[in-house]
Amino acid sequence: MKTINVSEITQNIKEMCIEANHFLAPDMAQALETATDNEKSPLGTQILNQLRQNLKIAGEDMIPICQDTGMAVIFMEIGQDVHFEGGSLEDAVNEGVRQGYTEGYLRKSVVKDPLIRENTKDNTPAIIHYEITTGEAVKITVAPKGFGSENMSRIFMLKPADGIEGVKNAILTAVKDAGPNACPPMVVGVGIGGTFEKCALMAKKALTRPINEHSEISYIKEMEEELLDKINHTGIGPGGLGGTTTALAVNINTYPTHIAGLPVAVNICCHVNRHAVRLL
């Protein structure tokens, strides 16, 4: 049995909120560099170079890489042999977000009520997803999600008869409808299967998978590669101004589903696709 004081969770969440909002994850930085080298459009290349210059300045001057510092989405993978002490785990996570966004001078973007719209002034509460795993490790993923891309998300409740081509068409439809609004080049997270809410969660988590890692399921891997190619032939391009780099990756997660359904969720993220990961 491993014991963790929740104050350790707060400290790590605080640091990760600041880290994710100031520094691009290594896989994303490499992908942007490769995309810049491969972009065929002169204007697209110029936009990609500007994005990389923005990232360089943000890191050197400790300025957020985007003015929308997002709503904090936290994935907590908790080993069943872990015991937390010192207070509420959920309170500790939200306290980490509060400290990170306040002390890191990050924009506070959360309103307490979705209709009354009064700002909470500390970017809490976070969106927290818990998963119980084996062992005694805790994996924390902090993924601040801006709403320019979040607003472009879609769920399609397809019929089983729509099949794999229906799934592909749904994903391409979501990307084309998003166009420049998702701040391309984008990362496309997809969830296929499960239920209405399960496919959406899978799509969100797919965005945190390193973009140089494909699905372990061979035909899903092939679908990821095919869709990335098709998306990059839409002509949307960097910043939506045309070019051959509309997306940097398509990450697909799947789950068993009901005989009568074929749920598909598409969660798009902008070119920064912020995430930080730590193991405790």
Sequence-ordered list of residues with C-beta below 8 angstroms from that of 84, at least 6 positions apart, any chain: 3, 4, 5, 6, 9, 92
Going across the sheet that includes 138-145, the strands are 127-133, 71-79, 138-145, 276-279
Same domain (yes/no): 252, 138 = no
140 Cβ neighbours under 8 A, 6+ residues apart: 9, 12, 13, 16, 74, 75, 76, 77, 277, 278, 279, 280
Average pLDDT, the chain: 97
**What are the backbone dihedrals phi and psi of residue 101, each rounded to the nearest 5 degrees, phi first?**
-75, -30
Which of 122, 145, 168 is the endpoint of a domain? 145
Assess whether 91 and 225 both reside in one domain.
Answer: no
Considering the domain architecture, whether residues 81 and 106 belong to the same structural domain is answered as yes
Total structural domains in the chain? 2
Q: What is the pLDDT of residue 214?
A: 96
Question: Residue 59: CB partners within 8 Å, gap ≥ 6?
Answer: 22, 23
Same structural domain for residues 83 and 189?
no
The enclosing H or E element of 32 equals helix 26-38
> Based on the domain organization, do 165 and 257 belong to the same domain?
yes
- Structure token digits, residue 35: 């995309």
Confidence of residue 172 (pLDDT cuts 50, 70, 90): very high
Is 221 part of a structural domain of the chain?
A: yes
In terms of residue numbers, what domain contains 95?
2-20+65-145
Domain-embedded: residue 33: no
Eight-state DSSP code of residue 119: B
Are both 126 and 198 inside the same structural domain?
no
Region 121-131: what's the mean pLDDT?
98
111 and 184 assigned to the same domain: no
Report pLDDT digits (tens) over 245-270: 999 999 999 999 999 999 999 999 99
> Is residue 60 in some structural domain?
no
Residue 31 maps to a domain = no
Domain boundary among 107, 126, 145: 145
Query: How does pLDDT run across 193-230, given as a tens digit for each residue?
Result: 999 999 999 999 999 999 999 999 999 999 999 999 99
Question: Are 209 and 262 members of one domain?
Answer: yes
Instruction: Specify if 162 maps to a domain.
Output: yes
Nearest CA among 157, 150, 152 for reference residue 193: 157
Model pLDDT, residue 207: 98
Instruction: Report the 10 Å Cβ neighbour count for 8.
Output: 15
By C-alpha distance, which of 120, 114, 265 is closest to 198?
265
The pLDDT assigned to 127 comes to: 98
| Whether 116 and 165 share a structural domain | no
Q: Are strands 262-269 and 186-194 parallel, antiparallel or unpaired?
A: antiparallel
Structural domain includes residue 102 = yes
Considering the domain architecture, whether residues 140 and 171 belong to the same structural domain is answered as: no
**Where does a domain end: 104, 130, 145?**
145
Residue 98 shares a structural domain with residue 177: no
Cis ω before 125 (30° cut-off from 0): yes
CATH number of the domain where residue 132 is located: 3.30.360
Q: Regarding predicted confidence, which is higher, 59 or 201? A: 201
Give the tens place of pLDDT for each residue, 134-159. 999 999 999 999 999 999 999 999 99
Beta strands in the chain (DSSP E): 2-5, 71-79, 82-85, 127-133, 138-145, 154-158, 186-194, 247-257, 262-269, 276-279
156 in a structural domain:
yes
Note whether residue 251 is domain-resident. yes
In tens, the pLDDT along 98-116 reads 999 999 999 999 999 999 9
Q: Is residue 31 within 8 Å of residue 63, measured between CB atoms?
A: no
CA pair distance 210, 251, nearest whole angstrom: 9
Q: Give the list of residues 6+ apart from residue 62 with CB closer than 8 angstroms, or none.
A: 22
- pLDDT for res 93: 98
154 and 261 within one domain: yes
Residue 19's pLDDT is 97
Other C-beta atoms closer than 10 Å to the C-beta of 178 total 24
